Amino acid sequence: MNGLSFSEMCYLFCCPPLPSSVAAKLAFLPPEPTYYVEDEEDGSCSLHLTERSEWQYSLQELDGIEVFRTRTRKGNTIACMHVKNTDNPKFTLLFSHGNAVDLGQMSSFYVGLGSRINCNVFSFDYSGYGGSTGTPSENNIYADIEAAWSALHNKYSIPPEKLILYGQSIGTVASIHLAMRLEVAGVVLHSPLMSGMRVAFPSTTRTWCFDPFQNIEKVSRVSSPVLVIHGTEDEVIDFTHGLSIYERAPRTVDPLWVEGAGHNDVELYASYLERLRKFTDVDIGSS
């Protein structure tokens, strides 16, 4: 998200275009697609990765990835990806990724993460990203995750008690939205933002009616266990956002504050995998 001057922000929110379109310009940065989904004669879909996806594994791991499309209540068709890392997963992660990547770029990460914590991973591209139609917006991202959950539940028979909602950066907006409506095994909020205005204007201390992505208000209505992860040197979404989300969520477990980590390198620290393993094995795994 890019910072704006106060006068620019006032103009954008008080005059056309609508706040929803402003939110899209501030938050969504869809990359050039790094994959495409091809329809097969038998009705299935196949995944084709480009060089820009930077796939790090062999064809064997690629065979464990299934892709398909589903339709949202907003009329868009979104691309979905199921990464089968194990036949007996502890949980399935419904992963909502960050704002400047798509499923192709995330595919190797999903394989690596899932195999290390013994979980399968299900993810989707927001409207306007990768193989998904439409335009990215706040309202569309809510419809997108609702459709993704419906597809995951119906196609793979995953019950809520075996589901972890994992949101990263802008993806925390989608995860919190669904977590308000669905009690699940756990919720991971990785580099969460309090709200759009608080990112653009760090001195903002209240939630305005036109404030997009109101995580700080919504997280208080999440009944599932919540793990907050944030780098202390995050240059995009300040560490104070993660701290405030942690303080507002009703059922938190011990957070992970990664000393010295920024916005895009938390996963490189050993404490990241260690904390996720403890979350799945102890915090929610023993319940």
| Residues tagged active-site | 169, 234, 263
Task: Give me the residues paired with residue 187 across strands.
Answer: 165, 226
CA angle 112, 116, 122 (to 5 degrees): 60
Query: Contact 227/275 with Cβ under 8 angstroms?
Result: yes
Query: Contact 163/187 with Cβ under 8 angstroms?
Result: no
How far is Cα 256 from Cα 242, in angstroms, rounded to an integer? 10
Query: Contact 284/186 with Cβ under 8 angstroms?
Result: yes
How far is Cα 42 from Cα 39, in angstroms, rounded to an integer? 8
CA angle 245, 250, 254 (to 5 degrees): 70
φ, ψ (nearest 5 deg) of residue 89 = -70, 145
**Residues near 51 by beta carbon (within 8 Å), at least 6 away in sequence:** none
How far is Cα 248 from Cα 33, in angstroms, rounded to an integer? 36
For residue 213, is it left (φ>0), alpha (ψ between -120 and 50) or beta?
Answer: left
